[in-house]
Homo-oligomer: A and B are copies of this chain.
Amino acid sequence: MNPYQAPLAEMKFLLDKVFDAPQTWASLPEIAETVDLDTAIAIMDEADKISRELIHPINRSGDEQGVVHQDAKVITPDGFKEVYNQYAEGGWVGFCGDPEFGGMGMPKMLGVLVDEMAYSACNSFTLYGSLTAGAALCINAHGSEELKEKYLPMMYCGEWAGAMDMTEPQAGSDLRNIRTKATPNDDGSYNISGSKIFITGGDHDLTENVIHLVLAKLPDSNGISLFLVPKIKVDDQGNLGESNGVTVGSIEHKMGLKASATCVMNYDDAQGYLIGSPNRGLVCMFTMMNYERLAIGIQGLGTSQAAYQMAADYAKERVQGVAAGGSPTGATSDPILVHGDVRRMLLNIRVLTEAGRALSVLTGQQLDIAKFGEGDAQAKASRYVGLLTPVSKAFLSDRGLDAAITAQQVFGGHGYIRETGIEQLVRDTRIAQIYEGTNGIQAIDFLGRKVTGDNLVALTEFVTECTDKLTSLTQVDESHKAKVIVLFDELLAAAKMVNDNKSTQPAIVNASAVDFLDAFGHILYGYFWLLMSDAASNEPDAEFASQKRYLSDFYIAKMLPKAKYHLAQVREGDSTVMSMPENLF
């Protein structure tokens, strides 16, 4: 099996030609000072190299060996610590971090591509850095100057890691019921006591310290507050002191991600520091959650790309049967890539993965404008981030599992064998549909809060911009443009139907949300394919241009119609979903 190789041509094409990163970056002074296209390309080349040569080699062995909880310590598989040290030294943990505290200040539009490469190389490994970057983002946004100065530089440089502690056994999707308590101390700190489960990177041996962001309740309050709780106390000079009442109860035995430490964390009067205002912890935590939601979508995207490469390589090498019209080479057996069903599977993965990358780059771009831009542009980008974040999380992670399962099918029986490696992708990526808010929760956030919650304003604005852009394209079939535009119109009509009925049919949002998000995703990908096909037609590389045209034609013919199915589901409403009495389930 060939090792992972990043799709650099596609990545550069998206940045430069489809989403015009140079223009975006030039409009944002803080980014313009930091990076230009040439630098970005050099960074991507380096990210490809470390993903392939450094991270990917510990992927399979990490799965077989897994994390071990022994003598109250959590031990990562062989090689993880060494690779993490090199990764951190390269500055990748603080890649998009605030330069004032030692981050590299890179745009998210580039960061999503770097993240994709790392996730393609190893899901488990990449989570450690991703959680750290997310925690740092939250501290930077809501923490006091003192906390920022004390913790951020050590997190950006990778010396200390981060974790997000929300879930408790009785409080998962519904965090109202958490029981972890925070008692104020005289010095302004708090004593935190309670237990958390499913804590990714809750403890490990990659770093000396782990900085936990813990949701807890203040005395006599039902509000939820957020606290920074280091595993090991840090003195005023930034030195590590004594341990802080933070211990690992156990590690979870999981379907996959076996090299990622998922911990039960116990807090016994651990010293913590309030982040943001009292009882406003969820708002602060959502800064991290939204970051992680995009990152988890990219976990699915990275998995899709890795799955495609493995399956395509195998389909070119594996010889079995003869092409339906006779062997093109006159051989008695052909590579299985000649078979229509194998091509269908590979094309399915490929078109969803390339459009998925476009979604991640667009979301990254809007995050950058929302963070570094100003005025109307900034406000609009914030609305788009709100729309696109749940879609990126859910649609990319759903397509990630589909891709891994489809790629596994290309391998036939060999795909079920652990040594082949493709079944690990299925197991590793499955959780991406669940954690950081299940994909059902994402869909409800999208349809309930982001779409109908503001009376379709943001969605209409976004769709109008897409259809205007489509109308202006000159190098794609008019009939293809018309198909996507009609579906966008039907999507808006379906959204209006839900919005009009939600007061009299309170369950309609919940019951229709997943289909609505899936419809939007499939239409959006049609839009992306026409953008890409149009942009590629101007590329000097004629093969690249014709490849994007083939893929775009396949998407419009074969995948776009799925949107119709999902729209029909939304239009069907919720009556058949809600009417059966509970005792008949």
Partner-B contacts on A (CB < 8 A): 167, 170-174, 176-177, 197-198, 252-256, 312, 315-316, 319-321, 323-326, 333, 335, 337-347, 350, 401, 405, 408-409, 412-419, 423, 426-427, 430-431, 433-435, 438-440, 443-444, 506-514, 543, 546-547, 550-551, 553-554, 557-558, 561-562, 564-565, 568-569, 572, 574, 576-580, 582, 584-585
Structural contact, A580 and B325, CB atoms closer than 8 A: no
Closest B residue to A437 by CB, please name it. B412
Chain B residues with CB below 8 A from A320, complex form:
171-174
Measured between C-beta atoms, what is the minimum distance from A345 to chain B in Å? 8
Question: How many Å from the CB of A224 to the closest CB on chain B?
Answer: 15
13 new A-B contacts, CB < 8 A, other than A325-B507, A408-B430, are A172-B320, A172-B412, A176-B333, A253-B417, A255-B418, A326-B506, A340-B509, A340-B577, A341-B444, A341-B511, A343-B578, A547-B584, A558-B577
Q: Is A341 in contact with B514, judged by CB distance below 8 angstroms?
A: yes
In the complex, are the beta carbons of B413 and A167 less than 8 A apart? yes
Write out the residue numbers on chain B whose beta carbons fall within 8 Å of the beta carbon of A416.
Answer: 252, 254-256, 430-431, 434-435
Min Cβ gap A582→B in Å is 6
Residue from A412, A512, A543 with most neighbouring chain B CB atoms (10 Å): A412
Q: Which of B253, B324, B412, B569 contacts A510 (CB 8 A)?
A: B324
Report the Cα distance A582→B337, complex, angstroms: 7
User: How far is the CB of A165 from the nearest CB of chain B, in Å?
Assistant: 13
Closest to A583 in B: B543
- Min Cβ gap A9→B in Å is 12
CB < 8 Å neighbour of A343 from B431, B511, B546: B511
From B177, B324, B564, give the contact of A507 (CB < 8 A).
B324
Q: Assuming the A-B contacts A316-B585, A333-B174, A547-B580, are A418 and B558 also in contact, with contact meaning beta carbons closer than 8 angstroms in the complex?
A: no
**Once the chains are docked, how many angstroms separate the CA of A550 from the CA of B581?**
9
Known: A511-B341, A557-B572. A333 touches B580 (CB 8 A): no
